[in-house]
């Protein structure tokens, strides 16, 4: 790729992308802690919940996991590692996605419980907490443990980027076959007794010749810079192609053997509906009804019940019924869990479409809102250089955005149905429709749920039951 390719091959490209985001993070934290308490007038809430979320999903859709590439948390972590090297290996029992799934659910829960979207102060502390978590974890444990096993945003990005059109991969496998130094994973060291690393290899244990897809890839480009043969690059590919196959993936294993990865995709997909549900009128009606039914005045337990319904009961029910019907109707010998794991990955396009529709909505309808907030922030510091804040500048109208949301959801359904079709043809060659119908029904049901959500009246409330 002209210009961009040369820039990304430059070993300091990542730092150059990370520095502005670090500066922006500091500005957001300061404005969140000391600026106006009203979310629409604060850079912390505006940039986090409108622009960061929206751009994240749009960039992943259009390109790839470039937000992990430009992650400001890693800049701070790398600086800290120059002072003190980590010394422990991450515990074997935690070398999976279960901890990060729990953290992702926790973030979604806390977001609803404390109305983070309405609180510049809490949003600032979320950002600070993230920096501290990265520093603590990656100062103690070697390699990119935070990225691979902890970071909730990273796990979200990994799943979403299975649908990206770009991938970091080897250009010519024959070159790798002849390579004996394997710098892409070992890194490049000085020719000296103390073997100082001059260029890291992949810290997420993705050995390039056997890497397949974007799962666990942070686009850090360490492998690109380390490869002495210039044989690793960002290449184009068919979106979702990595979900159609199940090779042994370096640093990941087989998708079909990874119950934790399948669970992550389910949280990703159903979490999209849950997160959108939290902003519509029926959510408040449900919470009040549950609170009255169970005689509970506090929000946390009621919210907990809704989370369990969406993230545990719903997938068990939908996938359980589909699995039972598939086994009964096709006679295939796959066990329950392997079938559920396999078809979980087919739901990723639908889930991503819902995140795109939701975050894209907030991003597009609030596209220009950072302008008056910035004008106001500068004026508040005694520098009214950008003039009077134009508070009426928000973004596109609902009428303009809704067709985009609708189109994304339809594409998401198409993507999931296509994956289900591929899987069912492989699983039951004699009668593929018998495997297709139950899982296509799951996709259609979830899609109908997404469509219903899209047309529900929004209702932003910063307080729920219990005051």
Partner 1 sequence: MLADVTMKPVTGARITLEGNMSHAGMVPIFSDAKEVAPGRYQANLDFAMAGDWVILSHITLATGQKIEDKLNLKGVRPN
Interaction site with partner 1 (CB under 8 A): 38-42, 45-46, 49-50, 115, 117-118, 279, 281, 362, 365-366, 369, 391-392, 394-395, 457-463
Residues 158 and 268 sit within 8 Å (Cβ to Cβ): no
Minimum distance from residue 113 beta carbon to partner 1 (Å): 15
Minimum distance from residue 114 beta carbon to partner 1 (Å): 12
**CA 375/CA 391 separation, integer angstroms:** 10
Three-state DSSP state, 302: helix
- Of the pair 270, 279, the CB lying nearest partner 1 is at 279
Residues 70 and 25 sit within 8 Å (Cβ to Cβ): no
- Of the pair 365, 416, the CB lying nearest partner 1 is at 365
CA angle, residues 327, 331, 332, in degrees to nearest 5:
75
Query: Residue 406: which residues within 8 A CB-CB, separation 6 or more?
Result: 451, 454
Minimum distance from residue 51 beta carbon to partner 1 (Å): 9
- Of the pair 14, 362, the CB lying nearest partner 1 is at 362
**CA 385/CA 375 separation, integer angstroms:** 8
Minimum distance from residue 212 beta carbon to partner 1 (Å): 38
- Of the pair 125, 329, the CB lying nearest partner 1 is at 125
- Of the pair 25, 164, the CB lying nearest partner 1 is at 25
Find the helix or strand (DSSP H, E) in which 309 lies: none
Q: Which residues pair with 197 in a beta bridge?
A: 189
| Residue 120 burial by Cβ neighbours in a 10 Å radius (0-12, 13-18, 19+) | buried
Minimum distance from residue 256 beta carbon to partner 1 (Å): 40
Select from 116, 1, 114, 142 the least CA-distant residue to 64. 1
In the structure encoding, which two tokens stand for residue 439, read together? Answer: 């899982």
- Of the pair 297, 461, the CB lying nearest partner 1 is at 461
Three-state DSSP state, 424: helix
Select from 241, 249, 232, 236 the least CA-distant residue to 171. 232
Select from 288, 304, 310, 299 the least CA-distant residue to 354. 310
- Of the pair 142, 390, the CB lying nearest partner 1 is at 390
Minimum distance from residue 407 beta carbon to partner 1 (Å): 21
- Of the pair 285, 312, the CB lying nearest partner 1 is at 285
Three-state DSSP state, 421: helix
User: The dihedral of CA 124, 125, 128, 130: what is its sign?
Assistant: negative
Minimum distance from residue 378 beta carbon to partner 1 (Å): 18
- Of the pair 156, 361, the CB lying nearest partner 1 is at 361
Can you spell out the DSSP letters for 108-142?
HHHHHHTTGGG-HHHHHHHHHHHHHHHHHHHHHBS
């Amino acid at each position: 790729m002209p210009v961009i390719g040369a820039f990304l091959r430059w070993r300091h490209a990542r730092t150059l992308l990370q520095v502005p985001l670090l500066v922006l993070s500091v500005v957001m934290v300061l404005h969140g802690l000391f600026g106006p308490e009203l979310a629409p007038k604060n850079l912390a809430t505006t940039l986090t919940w409108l622009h960061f979320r929206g751009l994240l999903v749009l960039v992943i859709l259009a390109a790839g996991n470039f937000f992990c590439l430009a992650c400001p948390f890693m800049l701070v972590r790398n600086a800290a590692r120059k002072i003190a090297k980590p010394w422990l290996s991450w515990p074997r029992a935690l070398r999976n996605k279960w901890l990060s799934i729990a953290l992702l659910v926790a973030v979604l829960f806390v977001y609803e419980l404390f109305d983070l979207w309405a609180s510049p102060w809490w949003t600032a502390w979320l950002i600070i907490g993230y920096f501290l978590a990265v520093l603590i974890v990656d100062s103690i444990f070697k390699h990119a443990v935070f990225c691979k096993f902890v970071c909730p945003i990273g796990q979200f990005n990994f799943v979403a980027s299975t649908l990206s059109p770009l991938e970091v991969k080897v250009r010519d496998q024959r070159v790798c076959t002849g390579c004996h130094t394997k710098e892409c994973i070992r890194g490049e060291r000085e020719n000296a007794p103390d073997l100082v690393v001059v260029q890291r290899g992949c810290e997420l244990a993705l050995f390039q010749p056997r890497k397949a897809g974007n799962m666990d890839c942070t686009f850090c480009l360490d492998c690109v810079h380390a490869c002495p043969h210039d044989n690793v690059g960002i290449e184009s590919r068919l979106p979702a192609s990595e979900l159609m196959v199940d090779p042994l993936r370096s640093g990941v294993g087989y998708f079909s053997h990874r119950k934790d990865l399948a669970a992550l995709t389910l949280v990703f997909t159903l979490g999209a509906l849950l997160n959108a549900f939290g902003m519509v009128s029926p959510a408040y009606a449900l919470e009040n009804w549950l609170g009255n039914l169970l005689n509970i005045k506090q929000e946390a337990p009621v919210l907990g019940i809704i989370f369990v319904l969406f993230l545990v009961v719903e997938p068990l029910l939908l996938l359980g019924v589909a699995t039972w019907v598939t086994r009964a109707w096709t006679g295939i010998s796959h066990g329950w869990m392997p079938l559920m794991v396999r078809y979980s990955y087919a739901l990723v396009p639908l889930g991503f479409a819902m995140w795109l529709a939701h975050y894209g909505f907030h991003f597009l309808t609030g596209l220009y809102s950072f302008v008056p907030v910035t004008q106001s922030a500068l004026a508040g510091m005694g520098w009214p250089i950008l003039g009077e804040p134009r508070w009426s500048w928000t973004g596109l109208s609902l009428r303009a955005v809704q067709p985009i949301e609708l189109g994304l959801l339809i594409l998401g359904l198409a993507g999931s149905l296509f994956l289900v079709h591929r899987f069912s043809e492989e699983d039951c060659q004699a009668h593929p429709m018998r495997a297709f119908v139950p899982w296509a029904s799951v996709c259609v049901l979830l899609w109908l749920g997404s469509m219903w959500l899209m047309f529900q009246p929004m209702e932003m409330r910063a307080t729920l039951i219990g005051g």
